[in-house]
Amino acid sequence: EKTVSIRLNKSFALPQYGAELVAVAGNATGEQPASSNKRLPRVALADYGMPEHGPRSVEWSGDTDLRTGQVKGSFRIGRAIDETSVSKYNIYWRTSDGRRGELLGSVPAVGFRQPQCGGASCDLIEVSKTGTNTYRYEREPYGDEESAVIDLSGPATVKIARFSTEDYYDHLKVGGTVLTGSLRDLPLELHMQAGKQSIEWESDQSINDQGWSFELTQEGAFVDFQISTSSVAGEVEVVAAYGDTEQPNETLSARVVDFDASMPPSPAFAPTALAFEDMNEGAGVISGTANVTVAAAAAAQALLDPAPRGVVTAYQLNFADVAGAIIDGKHWIERVNGNE
């Protein structure tokens, strides 16, 4: 059997709708028609790629099924800092001896990209992280011929807190909106659509001003993966993949704990928010009402089992330091689910 090797000696982008390669015979008068001849040999195109980045985090939300041997809940997966080379995340069970078990499922990548600055003036811009997905950018006062581009993925919201530049010649471009001169009606909120986005900064060769400050809040950094099973292997492993090729070096795992009614509440039943306003005008003395937001799982379970033996029977309020560590001493307890 004779074969002819045709080497594709250049790297090139796949054409739109390109799904396969087809081989035809030809001579000086022309080639065989490919579209109508189903007997011609074809091979499906499988684009090989290796993910450059793995998932940033994985966290088990907690078991909401109180039956022994049954777990139900979700994993929150922190997407890779740049999903350009990631098409999906595969989730596997990991056995007690550290071996990879069965595939639980996959979640698709969405093209997420954490804000990244490029350009000669990036080092001049002060950047700080003020929340899980929120960043503050400041440049004050600025100089001549500065240039920087912050690439990111949307959706995102940009809140301009301060802005003063040379009118027309020095500008900040947020998505499709160009800002220049002195803005008085602040803060100003700008919304960026899903997909590739950028924020561009540029100043010319003369005349400067006091600069600018804005806060960027990005969406889509996390994705939840739900499970409900009676086959608990102990841990799950999350790995980034491009097609069938998995990233071998940046896998993350999280332990799955099977909770039942004989144990303290699982993380799934933890309160989701707390609000308090001091109503006492005296310095160093507080009084008022604290409002605790109940987790959806806890509220649902209370409807199913409102008796005193319910999964959550009380909420306790403690003092904590700035690091979140509990301070021993005074605390308050509010009993719920009919348990007085």
Spell out the domains of the chain, with CATH numbers in brackets: 116-218 (2.60.120.290), 270-335 (no CATH)
Split at pLDDT 50, 70, 90, the class of 340 is very low
Q: What is the pLDDT of residues 156-179, one digit of tens each?
A: 999 999 999 999 999 999 999 999
**CB contact set of 131 (below 8 Å; sequence gap of 6+):** 217
Q: Is the pLDDT of residue 223 over 80?
A: yes
- 324 pLDDT band, cuts 50/70/90, is confident
pLDDT beyond 80 at 13: no
In the numeric block, which tokens belong to residue 182? Answer: 């002195």
Which of 210, 196, 195, 253 is closest to 59 using CA atoms?
A: 253
pLDDT tens for each residue of 183-198 = 999 999 999 999 999 9
Instruction: Label residue 313 by pLDDT band (50, 70, 90).
Output: confident
Please name which of 184, 211, 30, 216 lies closest in space to residue 113, comparing C-alpha atoms.
216
> Which pLDDT belongs to residue 254?
94
Q: List, for residues 84-95, the tens digit of each pLDDT value.
A: 999 999 999 988
Please report, rounded to a whole number, the percentage of residues in the chain having pLDDT higher than 70. 95
Contacts with 38 (C-beta within 8 Å, 6 or more apart), sequence order: none
330, pLDDT greater than 60: yes
